[in-house]
Amino acid sequence: MMTFFRALAIGVTLALPLAALAPVLAPPAYATDADDLAAVNRTIRGITTLSADFTQTDRNGQVATGRLLLKQPGHVRFDYGKNSDLLIVADGKSLYMIDYQVNQQERWPIRNSPLGALLDPSRDLTRFGKVVPSGDPRVVSVDVRDSAHPEYGVLNLVFLRNAATSSGLDLYGWVAKDAQGNRTTIRLTNMKYGVTIADSAFRWRDPRPNQVGPRR
């Protein structure tokens, strides 16, 4: 069975097309790392619901696409489409990777999961995050890690500056890196915030034999 990171695809560096950056403003001259980190924290904690298309690119150049639904606190769904046997979903308490091809699933408490920085409302990114050089003043890149638990890996969150938003940032995507060095890249497009998402979107069918669970 694939690990969570391999399920999302072993990624490459998150590329930022110039077309995507065109409408994004450069940072104010007085912005500091502390300012940017506080803005990142506000951006993540300000998301109530989010729907978006996502794109994965693996190290071999293979691309997978799907639909992301996120609802706070702690709900997410990566839907790879009707022809895929893979589903990744969080129900507010735990994150699951479900593989219907082999009828198995893996589970992590949200706080301990690779996406804890996005899904755990108690995670203060000003404590666990660090602004890292992005190479472009229009991009804010933050590494989030828990030094007490290196097994959780590192989540590099990528934001574009946008003065039209309340926090001054838009979430662009992320790169997850596990303790073994496997990288996972997700890029978001067609994002819609504050949309209505039913709780049923985060239910699924338990793939394991003789198990009763919510429907997919």
Q: Which residue has the tokens 């409302």?
A: 121
More confident residue, 181 or 215: 181
| Predicted pLDDT of residue 161 | 92
- pLDDT the model gives residue 212: 56
Mean pLDDT computed over 35-57: 91
pLDDT digits (tens, 9 = 90+) for 130-180: 999 988 888 999 998 877 777 777 889 999 998 888 888 999 998 878 777
When pLDDT is cut at 50, 70 and 90, the band that residue 29 belongs to is: low
Residue 208 CA to residue 206 CA, distance in Å, equals 6
**Which pLDDT score is estimated for 201?**
94
User: Which ranges constitute the DSSP H helices of the chain?
Assistant: 4-8, 18-21, 33-45, 116-119, 125-128
Give Cα 181 to chain centroid, integer Å.
17
3-class secondary structure, 21: helix
Q: Which two tokens stand for residue 116?
A: 């804890």
pLDDT band at 2 (very low <50, low <70, confident <90, very high): very low
Long-range Cβ pairs for the range 78-86 (8 Å, 24+): 78/8, 78/54, 86/7
Q: 41 — phi, psi (to 5°)?
A: -60, -45
| CATH of 4-202 given 2.50.20.10, 1.10.3720.10, 2.40.50.100, 2.170.150.70 | 2.50.20.10
Of 10, 207, 205, nearest to 101 by C-alpha is 207
Read off the pLDDT band of 14 (50, 70, 90): low
What average pLDDT does the chain have?
81
**pLDDT band at residue 209, thresholds of 50, 70 and 90?**
confident
For residue 114, pLDDT beyond 80: no
pLDDT band at 1 (very low <50, low <70, confident <90, very high): very low
Residue 196 has pLDDT above 80, yes or no: yes
Q: What is the pTM of this model?
A: 0.81
Place of tokens 């077309």: 19
List pLDDT tens digits, range 52-105: 999 977 666 668 899 999 999 999 999 998 888 889 999 999 999 898 888 888
Instruction: Write down the domain spans for the chain.
Output: 4-202
48 backbone φψ class: left, alpha, beta (φ>0; ψ -120 to 50): alpha
Residue 22, pLDDT > 60, answer: no
Rounded to an integer, the average pLDDT of 9-32 is: 53
The span from the CA of 138 to the CA of 21, in Å, is: 7
Helix (H, G, I), strand (E, B) or coil at 202: helix
